[in-house]
Structure formats: structure tokens, C-alpha cells
Amino acid sequence: MTSDPHLNPSGNPHLATNLARWEELALLHPETASYDVAGFRAGRNALKPIEIRELTDVVGRSLLHLMCHFGLDTLSWARMGARVTGVDWSANAIAVARALAADTGIDARFVQSNVYDLPASLGGTFDIVFTSYGVLGWLPDLRQWAEVIATFLAPGGRFYIVEAHPIAWLFDDAPGATELRVAYPYFGDAGPVRTDSDGSYADRSAAVVNRTEYCWSHGLGEIVTALSDAGLHVQFLHEHRELPWQLLPFMTERGDGMWTLPGGQIAVPLAFSLLATR
């Protein structure tokens, strides 16, 4: 357990609500077309063009995947030659990930843990710590998150994150939205924002019982400073005009699984990627 109850579902009702929703989504998502588990079983690589292009030299490297959901990306890094460990706080997500690894014969380790508690449940260090798409908003405290990353990085190891850009989270994402209109806070001191949604990002029409979630905003300066203060050295910070899911209802699919703003909209960054070393 983490020493800070505010960072644990047992001491923070917002996190308890989020965990209940993730337990449900971990069983729903493997059935959705967007996750295409059948395709993955047949050999599809679930990783997206940005991280495949930018996170190179993984063969034989130990890779720790934080907040891995039910493991498709973790297992894809294993197929590319990495020695992988995936971590998620959802028992259902970890059970599905372990079953998929066993079914597909992919060598992988999965650990059920709150990311903040991980130093208490996992030892060792890793060549690469990886995390991606839809992770930071669930974390109330990025300074302690960055400390966990630093704990698990071997000297000279690499941390890589690819995530929706803090700018992209600002805009109205209600079903009828047709253009960029600021609706959410940018800075992290705003406290958690409550959303009640039908379905999930992977299946908007699914009947979901746990509809409520709480998310924390984090500006780009807060993200980079947390990593820098934890002793990491930023090698690059790239901003991208595409995302692998339809964050805003008026985004259009480009043809390679990536979504962009339609022509005529002011260009804003939709994703960022950062590589840092210890």
C-alpha cells in the first residue's frame, strides 16, 4: 500500500469510483471491435505508428508497461522482442492479460498493482518504462508517479510516454460537438472533473453500469517538471496532430487507425510523446 491514502482507492472515493469502472471496462473492451482481439490473436501488432517509430531498440530489453489495461500493447512489445512486465490496478484486466498471454504463447509477466504502490509489490529495474494513451488523467499526483518511474529505471534506462496532449483534453467532447470549444480546465489544480458517460471510448453504445469517472488535468509543464524533478533527462518532446481514437466527435479517421481534426479546424496538438533517460 502507498503511504498516501489520497492515492489509493481505499482512501479516495474518486479513485474507488474509477477502479470500479475500470474493472467493468476490462471485461467489456476485449469484446469490442476497436480492440480487435481476434486480429491480435492472428498476429496483429496493437501498437500505434508513433510509438513503433519512436521507441526503437527493444529487442532483448526488459520493458515495464505501466497501466497496461488488458495487455495488448504489452504483448505486442513482447512480440517485437522485449522482455515484458505489465502493471494495472484492475484484477480483471490482469486476469484477461494473463489468459491472452497463455493462449497466444507469448512470454509475459503481469502484476496487479496501483502504480503508486508498485515499489512495494515489484522489485528490480528495467531498461525501458513505457506508458501510453489515456493514462495521466487517472492520476491525482504526477510527482509521485514520476518517482515510481525513476525507481524502476536502470541507470541509462529509457522512459517513453505517448499520450493525448493536455491541449486536446480541453475541448467539448459531447456527442453533438462540431468544433473546438474549450470546456475543461488545463491546469492540474482544478481538482477532479466528473463525467458520466454511456459506453466507453472503445464502444460508445455499450450498456455500462459504472458510468461515472473522475479525471485530473495535468498541463505539459507539470508533466515535464515532475519527470525532471525525479531525476530524468528529457531527450525529446514531440507534439502530434493525430490520436489513435476519436477523442472529439468531429475528428476523422486518417486510414491508418489514427484520428485527426478535419480540414478547416485550427490545428492544435492532439498527442505528445516524450523520451527521457536516467
Ligand X SMILES: C[S@@+](CC[C@H](N)C(=O)[O-])C[C@H]1O[C@@H](n2cnc3c(N)ncnc32)[C@H](O)[C@@H]1O
Binding site for ligand X (CB under 6 A): 22, 67, 69, 72-73, 88-90, 93, 114-115, 132-135, 138
Residue nearest to ligand X (CB): 134
Q: Supply the minimum distance, in Å, between the C-beta of residue 150 and ligand X.
A: 17
Q: Which is nearer to ligand X, 132 or 217 (CB)?
A: 132
Dihedral angle at the C-alpha atoms of 74, 78, 81, 85, nearest 10 degrees?
A: 70
Q: Supply the minimum distance, in Å, between the C-beta of residue 225 and ligand X.
A: 20
Q: Cα angle at 177 between 263 and 195, to 5 degrees?
A: 130
Q: Identify whether the C-beta of residue 152 lies closer than 8 Å to the C-beta of residue 113.
A: no
H helices of the chain, where? 13-28, 37-41, 49-54, 72-79, 91-104, 118-121, 142-152, 220-229
Q: Which is nearer to ligand X, 194 or 233 (CB)?
A: 194
Q: Supply the minimum distance, in Å, between the C-beta of residue 112 and ligand X.
A: 9
Three cell numbers at 30? 476485449
**184: DSSP letter:** S
Q: Identify whether the C-beta of residue 160 lies closer than 8 Å to the C-beta of residue 130.
A: yes
Q: Which is nearer to ligand X, 58 or 115 (CB)?
A: 115
**267: DSSP letter:** P
Q: Which is nearer to ligand X, 67 or 78 (CB)?
A: 67
Q: Which is nearer to ligand X, 132 or 273 (CB)?
A: 132
Q: Supply the minimum distance, in Å, between the C-beta of residue 67 and ligand X.
A: 3
Q: Supply the minimum distance, in Å, between the C-beta of residue 61 and ligand X.
A: 19
Rounded CA gap, 278 and 147, in Å?
12
Q: Supply the minimum distance, in Å, between the C-beta of residue 204 and ligand X.
A: 15
Q: Supply the minimum distance, in Å, between the C-beta of residue 100 and ligand X.
A: 12
Q: Cα angle at 60 between 54 and 61, to 5 degrees?
A: 55
Three cell numbers at 67? 497501466
Task: For residue 214, count other CB atoms closer than 10 A to its CB.
Answer: 20
Q: Which is nearer to ligand X, 67 or 100 (CB)?
A: 67
Rounded CA gap, 122 and 35, in Å?
28
Q: Supply the minimum distance, in Å, between the C-beta of residue 62 and ligand X.
A: 19
Q: Identify whether the C-beta of residue 182 lies closer than 8 Å to the C-beta of residue 268.
A: no
Q: 184 burial class (0-12, 13-18, 19+ CB within 10 angstroms)?
A: middle
